[in-house]
Structure 1
Amino acid sequence: MLQAISKDGKRVTLAMLPRSTLLQLRNSSTPFYCPVCKQKVIMKIGNKVIPHFAHQRKEECPSSEAGEGLYHEEGKLLLYQWLRRQGLNVQLEMYIPDIKQRPDLLLHFPDRKIAIEFQCSKIPKDEINARTEGYLQMGIVPFWILGLTRMRQLSPYVWKIDAFTRQLIHQYTPASPLTITYFCPLKKQFLQIHYLTFSQMNRAIGKMERIPLEYGRFRDLFSVPLFPKESFLQVWYKEKLRFRTKRRENLYGNELIWRQWLYSQGVYLEQLPSIVHLPVRSQFLLKVSPWNWQSRLYFKVLEKCQVGNSFSLRQCERILRPYFYSADTFPLISKKDNPIEQYLRYWEKLHIVEKRSPEIYVKLKEIPLYTTLEEAIQGDRMLIKKLIRLQLT
């Protein structure tokens, strides 16, 4: 821990004291106590780590947590100092007894409190949700920041997003794009990925922005750069081309089940129409990749429906119900749109169907399968160009 309480009740942060004072405190055997359990703690002021306090027996403290190392401690301290320089009311490692949680930083504003968690190590999904729900129960806004060591960039606009990282994606307001925030204490900068849209289960498109600690303000973390729809769709086309042409070996899980189901329809991946594997902002709500559930709607709904006949949104939802996460899986995302409705909007704008009511769609035309890979790639290219003209994402 970075802070402890002196015998006269004052909070002391060792890392903010000069070396001479630290040595003086150690030599005088001045006692310090944990702010939570009130047990005596010891000073750690070696040359290789940030000066800090430590329990002699961690299991005695209800707030004791596995440490995340020097990287985490440096980052937490830098963020604390950065917020203080802006004149913000911020507390370091403030324990909240009602929920038995101690955020790295607690920000106080006139109309709200924000708990900042700087997370550098992987922790169980249930722990993330429990800590997030704890803050929400207290009316505190949770704000998770990942250590930059957890970022996995695959190309300028594509990132690997594992199940752990997916849980820490934020949407600050219903109108905001999906965003994840990283911080690097070594480079002293934030990196944010905005407009996150999953092209498969562990792969997402987004627009990155760097915010140097020296020039950035706290409010800058909630501003959003432009990501033109044309640029986004051009990146998606590359992802779609990868989907068409990448060799798939050692398939397992949902991907193997889907491939076997596709073969049972007498269809190869190369034959799928271009309306399969389109970007849907709320893709994160599904346990399978876009091509999986979108192809199921194509074969089980669109292909079986005769031109002029209708189908319902509820019918589509029944087919895909097993593939959805529960509604409370992503508490950091403020608006959870229906991905099926978002996908059917493509069908509507491409004049494949006509929406007659909030629930009912009428089929207007057939969408055939492709016969060759070259034909499919050309069709994908033409569809992306059409979506760009229509400004659809």
Structure 2
Amino acid sequence: MLTALTSQGKQVVLTRQTSLDSLREWRKTETFHCPQCKEQVLLKVGDIIIPHFAHHQQTNCRDSFSEGESPTHLLGKIQLYELFSQLQLQTEMEPYLPDIQQRPDLLVTWQNQQVPIEFQCSTIPIALILERNAGYHSINMQPIWILLTPPKIQDSSACVLTHRFSQFQQHFIRPIHSSTKETLTILLTYNPQKQQFHYVSHFIHLRGTSFAICHSVMRIKHQTIPFAIPAAPSTTDIEGLTRHYQSARRKYLRSVIGYNQRGIHHRFLRACYEMRVQPIQLPAWIGVPTFRQEAFSESDCEWQLLLVAAIRQTRRTPFQLDRSLIRTFVKTFEGDSTLQLEACEHYMDFLREQRIDIYRLDIFIGRDFTLEVLSGRFLAMHARN
């Protein structure tokens, strides 16, 4: 814990403003108590470990769950507390919310709204995250979760890169409403060691847990309230996203035969066989990053080819498509069928707009739609900004 009460009932918040020597002298003459259970707590001051308060080993206090925090977590909370305080915002460290029996890392009041701030450094069950959010929502609070920046991202200076995000990390990717048709999605992370926010945005799903992303860095001293929003990708960024997507597409198509143990029994390869096309020779209109494509864990090449195969079996075209066929199709995949249905409809829109003849796989082989699709998606943001 970073907060406690003195023997006179005054709240103490440990920040970097007080020297270690001063804290050591202070604890000789003062006793400290837990703000929640009022039991006496210890002020621990070491040369390496960040100063903090701790209950005695035998305690029934609910707040004891917040102990055992890593130095990184403690440092991040201190820095965020100092940030909001310097911005002249009412900021509480580790306040206890009795109505829901929860204690956020910080509680910031902005425009008469209390906003819980959670700095999450470790992986915990998603069910616990949902439970905490439900608690906040029940008292009309909208929490902001900030993740510890993943090592690969904090060590990268690239503006565009490919990264694998765990299911836990993906849970914190949140949409930001904008005036454009496309929704901007971001993952807000923070690195206390370098005092930098790392923004991950404009996710383009590749396959499984891999995404092509835009990456931007902001020093904590430049952060604002509300939190700054990443700019729309530049033309150079879009070209970078395109290269990462194209590379992942080629890698998948080249490896699907060599590394697949099921051979022709793999339904993607089976569909290629039945349509008499080699995976590496798929036309460029199969494997396109249309909106909501992240709803499928499979490569875009795979689910889009299988959808085209399903339509061909009915002898129909994208212009004649019955929505019930798509509903049946998405049931064969794991994931959110509602979002997958939306992804399929966006892909059908693409095929109709491009007037693709799905019965001619030998057309447009030399044309790449990726840059066109991504440019159409992101350049619209520039036009409205």
Q: TM-score range by the shorter chain?
A: 0.7 to 0.9
Q: Is the 8 A contact 1:112 1:141 kept in 2?
A: no
Q: Is the 8 A contact 1:84 1:90 kept in 2?
A: yes
Amino acid at match of 1:279: P
Structure 2 counterpart of 1:300: 310
Structure 2 residue 304 is matched with structure 1 residue 312: no
- Structure 1 residue 257: Cα displacement: 10
Amino acid at match of 2:160: Y
Structure 2 residue 169 is matched with structure 1 residue 165: yes
Closer, same or farther: CA 339–349 of 1 in aligned 2, 3 Å: same
Structure 1 counterpart of 2:345: 341
Q: Is the 8 A contact 1:89 1:107 kept in 2?
A: yes
- Structure 1 residue 150: Cα displacement: 4.8
Amino acid at match of 2:233: F
SS of 1:207's partner is: strand
Tell me the TM-score normalized by structure 2: 0.82
Aligned length: 363
Structure 2 counterpart of 1:110: 111
Structure 2 counterpart of 1:200: 207
SS of 1:197's partner is: strand
Q: How does 1:204-223 map to 2 (within 5 A)?
A: 204-219=211-226, 221-223=227-229
Q: Is the 8 A contact 1:14 1:51 kept in 2?
A: yes
SS of 1:342's partner is: helix
SS of 1:293's partner is: helix
Amino acid at match of 1:45: V
SS of 1:235's partner is: helix
SS of 1:103's partner is: coil
Q: Deviations over 1:215-258 (max 9, x none)?
A: 33233x33231214674265234423332235356669xxx799
- List runs of 5+ in structure 1 lacking aligned partners: 329-334, 353-364
* Bigger relative contact order, structure 1 or 2 (CA pairs below 8 A, ≥6 apart): 1
Q: Is the 8 A contact 2:209 2:297 kept in 1?
A: no
Amino acid at match of 2:60: E
- Structure 1 residue 301: Cα displacement: 1.9
- List runs of 5+ in structure 2 lacking aligned partners: 379-385
Structure 2 counterpart of 1:270: 280
Amino acid at match of 2:202: Y
Tell me the TM-score normalized by structure 1: 0.80
Structure 2 residue 358 is matched with structure 1 residue 366: yes
- Structure 1 residue 145: Cα displacement: 1.0
Structure 1 counterpart of 2:382: none
Q: Supply the distance in 1 between the matched residues of 2:100 and 2:171 (Cα, whole angstroms).
A: 20
Q: Deviations over 1:251-293 (max 9, x none)?
A: 69xxx79981123332642243322222134334334343332
Structure 2 counterpart of 1:86: 87
Q: Deviations over 1:356-384 (max 9, x none)?
A: xxxxxxxxx3343359xxx95x34x3x33
- Structure 1 residue 184: Cα displacement: 1.3
Q: Supply the distance in 2 between the matched residues of 1:94 and 1:337 (Cα, whole angstroms).
A: 43
Identity of aligned residues (%): 22
Deviates most, 184-193 or 230-239: 230-239
Structure 1 counterpart of 2:41: 41
Q: How does 1:1-393 map to 2 (within 5 A)?
A: 1-15=1-15, 16-28=17-29, 30-57=30-57, 60-63=60-63, 64-65=65-66, 67-152=68-153, 156-158=159-161, 159-173=163-177, 176-219=183-226, 221-228=227-234, 231-232=237-238, 235-245=241-251, 246-247=254-255, 260-265=266-271, 266=273, 268-302=278-312, 304-307=314-317, 310-323=320-333, 325-326=335-336, 338-352=342-356, 365-369=357-361, 376=365, 378-379=366-367, 381=368, 383-384=369-370, 386-387=372-373, 391-392=376-377
Q: Supply the distance in 2 between the matched residues of 1:160 and 1:54 (Cα, whole angstroms).
A: 36
Amino acid at match of 1:82: L
Q: Supply the distance in 2 between the matched residues of 1:296 and 1:239 (Cα, whole angstroms).
A: 20
Closer, same or farther: CA 65–51 of 1 in aligned 2, 3 Å: closer
Q: Is the 8 A contact 2:242 2:374 kept in 1?
A: no
